[in-house]
Amino acid sequence: MTTSPVKARVATAVTVAVAVAFLLPPAFSPAQETQDPGTKFYRIGPNDLLEIRVHELPDLNQTVRVSEDGSITFTLLGRIEVAGYSAHGLEEKLSALVTEKYVPGGAHVSVFIREHQKISVIGAVNQPGMFELVGPTTLLEAIAQAGGPTAQATNTIYVYRQEAGGKQAVIAIDRNWLSDSSRNLNIELRPKDVVSIPIDQTLNAFVYGEVRNPGVVPYLKSKGITLLQAVAQAGGPTEWAKKSKLVIKRKDKETGKEIKIRVNLKKMLAGERADIVLEEGDVVIVP
């Protein structure tokens, strides 16, 4: 049976390393490169890209991607479970394994996470995309990385998360309460989370007649609009307006027929009548 050049070099390096280990005290000069401080609490998971350096046996150095089952295949050591370890924890584990089998004097292993697990931020943000989870990342931090919400963002944020067994959980959070620390809504994100901020829909109502700026009155679906708000956006009634005879024309959603809703705007302005929420396409006539 022939031996591959790589295995032959590794075997020679192991033999030399073992011999030197018995003759000399172990010497080790740490690499100049250090881990990103943000990875201190990061836990390795599937699809992370790891660079592993064995300082006593450079032929064992390799860059490897973590498989979906949370393991890697390491030269001469075979399959090793790595998911759930920090970079430092994995360094200790690999150092112990290499020391036990090949470097009695003590091996020194460095692990660098070159690519981290990712999350996605989509929808009404300025820079949607995928972002690496480098250290603990909260929902607000992820949205900030995506450039923040746009003017068309709805008030509800959805976080889609894969739970154990492949089930998907959906977490709905009101954006207006997100900064309220007492509500604990600024959750810490997990790998593969998808943060979605739906794009709000612009709807239209119409105000005509004795108002200063008659025409289309746009509004956001998530916020809605009331009769008083629509009249105000249209500039308010003129001095000739018959405020007690205002009419709202609305199409019945089931029959398609026009419905007329008569409103005493004068009493509404005086607080004697409750405001009315308009629907998309409503036409307000101020005679």
**What CATH number has the domain bearing residue 24?**
3.30.1950.10
Q: Are residues 36 and 60 in the same domain?
A: yes
Can you give the pLDDT at residue 166?
A: 79
Can you give the pLDDT at residue 226?
A: 97
Can you give the pLDDT at residue 18?
A: 42
Q: Are residues 18 and 76 in the same domain?
A: yes
Range of the domain at 245: 202-286
Q: What pTM did the predictor assign? A: 0.62
Can you give the pLDDT at residue 14?
A: 46
Q: Are residues 219 and 243 in the same domain?
A: yes
Q: Are residues 151 and 65 in the same domain?
A: no
Mean pLDDT for all residues in the chain = 86
Q: Which of 155, 176, 197 is the last residue of a domain?
A: 197
For the chain, residues with pLDDT lower than 70 are 1-39, 182
Q: Are residues 219 and 266 in the same domain?
A: yes
Can you give the pLDDT at residue 22?
A: 39
Q: Which of 67, 89, 115 is the last residue of a domain?
A: 115
Q: Are residues 81 and 105 in the same domain?
A: yes
Can you give the pLDDT at residue 181?
A: 75
Q: Are residues 190 and 212 in the same domain?
A: no
Domain count, the chain: 3
Can you give the pLDDT at residue 21?
A: 41
Contact criterion met (CB below 8 Å) for 227 and 234: no
SS3 track for 181-228: HHHCCCCECCCCCEEEECECCEEEEEEEECECCCEEEEEECCCCCEHH
Q: Are residues 279 and 224 in the same domain?
A: yes
